[in-house]
Amino acid sequence: MDLANLVPVPVLLPLLAAGVTLILARHPAWQRVVSATTLALVAVLALVLCLAADAQGPVVLWVGAWPDGLGIVLVADRLSSLLVLVSSIVTAIVVIFPSRRDIADSAAGAPVSVFHPTFLVLTAGVANAFLAGDLFNLFVGFEILLFASYVLIMLGATRERVRAGSTYVVVSVISSTLFLLAISVVYGATGTVSFAQLPERLAALDPGMQLTIQLLLLVVFGIKAAIFPLQAWLPDSYPTAPASVTAVFAGLLTKVGVFAIVRLQTLLFPDSPLTELLLVVAILTMLVGILGALAQGEIKRLLSFTLVSHIGYMLLGIALGTEIGLGAAIFYIVHHILVQTALFIVVGLIERVGGSTSLARLGGLASVPLLAALYLIPALNLGGIPPLSGFLGKVALMDAALATDSPLALAAVVAGVATSLLTLIAVIRVWQRAFWQDRGEDDDRVHSLRVLPRIWVVAASGLVAITVALTVIAGPLTDFAYRAAVDIRGGAYQSAVEEAMP
């Protein structure tokens, strides 16, 4: 069997399953089984593609045998297949958690049956974006996942969710409009939107036009990745959604934007990395995000701000313009998808057990030891405590930055260390107040884990265990990430696409 035929399956399978779950609208238990099974199958297929890309190079499929490079090309190189694998793992676990109470937020008649079909469409959009071999198909992937996210963020139609969702929709529509404009400019100037063909054709343009296109695309992807100063929409949008939705949004959606920035800086403009500008943006993203987190009294908003700050670490690795920096950034992307998703899922459990996510109203959760452990492990990982993967990823990024002998890179190292310490302060403050603060003798809102379905506890424990396992496999994963960086910067991507061209 030609492995290239497997490349579109991570996109097509969730779309087919979305239709099945829509038919099963009156059977939520079966919807959950179909969704989880589908996403587990996608994870297996992604692992196969990951191993194939590592062994023989990028796996390429041209959809439509049109001449002259016209058509849709899907590419599973080391980077894209790795991200499809990680995203399918977290979505397969997260899809277990939604319940009528969480989605509806006490709103009668909320369309809970719509969750699973929409969630599967979202995962198809994410996979399509990762596998896209051209700008327009990347745009299509963004639009699929954004359309689904509009529905998910407003499930229950409560006033707070509609208000936050409206902000999210407006920002997304603006960024999509800019993206379409950028694609038009690129095609008008070069006659192609293919990642394999664009580097040579962009290099032939006037330097001013090259810079204009690069900055326009960087703004578009920067909005989607929530980098400074384009991040203001995120902390207001994510915390209002159901816990399972927020977990996927926080873990995945911004990483699709970061992935697009990787493609922009390494494939399209390998000789014009805008290093100084991106380093400044990375520093400001780290500091603004973490300072915002320290000012929060609600856990979801606090974690949303830490999400912004840690996008700065990934941008740092990309901005360095070196294979070592890019490899460290790829490792950190994988780490952050898993850890951030785990934290938001655990916060969802905290809300069910403690009755709130406000630090002013929480306390006494230390009486539920398993819940305390489920929060503390990924929290310390996010803060960069050795020997966890957060520490290893940050050390790799700092080493890559120091190797450049750049004053701005040194400043980024200082900002990164400060951000890590402040992140630790923020998550420990949650630990101290939510778990050890006295709730008072008359406050009976703390429950045991018995209020949660057993499968929720098992799934959350499994996700946290995976974040710990990252430390164990950090060596092989780091090596894989560096090979992925070499692939992108060494021209293997372009060569594989051109060889497969009809």
Q: Which whole number is the average pLDDT over 70-88?
A: 90
Residue 428 structure tokens: 């420990």
Which three-class secondary structure state does DSSP give residue 16? helix
Q: What is the pLDDT of residue 130?
A: 94
The answer to whether the CB of 90 falls within 8 A of the CB of 337 is: yes
Is the dihedral angle over the CA atoms 166, 15, 47, 55 positive or is it negative? negative
Average pLDDT (424-445) is 78
- pLDDT value of residue 69: 58
Secondary structure (3-state) at 96: coil
Q: How many residues does the chain have?
A: 502
The CA R_g of the chain, rounded to the nearest whole Å, is 22
Q: Is the peptide bond before 242 cis (omega within 30 degrees of 0)?
A: no
Residue 238 has pLDDT above 80, yes or no: no
pLDDT > 70: what percent of the chain? 91
pLDDT confidence of residue 271 = 76
* Mean pLDDT for the stretch of residues 416-432: 94
Residue in the structure block whose two tokens are 């910067």 = 489
Separation of alpha carbons 162 and 246, rounded Å: 15
Residues 460-469 have pLDDT tens digits of: 899 999 999 9
The vertex-97 CA angle with 94 and 103, nearest 5°, equals 115
In angstroms, the CA 424 to CA 270 distance is: 35
Given a contact cutoff of 8 angstroms between Cβ atoms, the answer to whether 337 and 251 are in contact is yes
Helix axes 407-430 and 389-402, enclosed angle (nearest 10): 160
DSSP state of 110: -
What pLDDT digit, counting tens, does each position of 282-294 carry? Answer: 999 999 999 999 9
pLDDT in tens, 315-350: 999 999 889 999 999 999 999 999 999 999 999 888
How confident is the model at residue 497, as a pLDDT?
Answer: 81
pLDDT at 30 over 60: yes
CB-count burial class (<10 Å; 0-12, 13-18, 19+) for 184: exposed
Q: Which two tokens stand for residue 191?
A: 């006659």
Residue 76 has phi, psi (to 5 degrees) of: -105, 85
Q: Considering only CA atoms, which of 215, 41, 81, 121 is closest in space to residue 487?
A: 81
Q: Would you say residue 108 has pLDDT above 50?
A: no
Query: For a pLDDT cut of 90, what percent of the chain falls above it?
Result: 49
Would you call 114 helix, strand, or coil by DSSP? helix
Dump the DSSP string for 331-379: HHHHHHHHHHHHHHHHHHHHHHHHS-SBTTT---GGGSHHHHHHHHHHH
Considering Cα of 335, then 46, then 252, then 113, what sign does the dihedral take? negative
Asked if 110 and 158 touch (Cβ cutoff 8 Å), the reply is no
Whether the pLDDT of residue 491 is over 70: the answer is: yes
Model confidence at 73: pLDDT above 50: yes
pLDDT at 45: 94
Q: Is the pLDDT of residue 110 over 50?
A: no
Q: State pTM to two decimals.
A: 0.92
pLDDT value, residue 13 = 95
Is residue 72 within a helix (H) or strand (E), and if so which, with residue range?
strand 72-76
| pLDDT confidence band for 156 (50 / 70 / 90) | low
User: What integer is the mean pLDDT of 439-458?
Assistant: 66
Candidate ranges 194-208, 355-369, 485-499; pick with highest mean pLDDT: 194-208
Structure tokens at 101: 């109470």
Q: Is residue 107 over pLDDT 50?
A: no
Taking the C-alpha atoms of residue 140 and residue 40, their distance in angstroms, rounded to an integer, is 24
Distance CA 134, CA 129 (A): 10
What pLDDT is stored for residue 422 in this prediction?
95
pLDDT tier at 102, thresholds 50, 70, 90: low
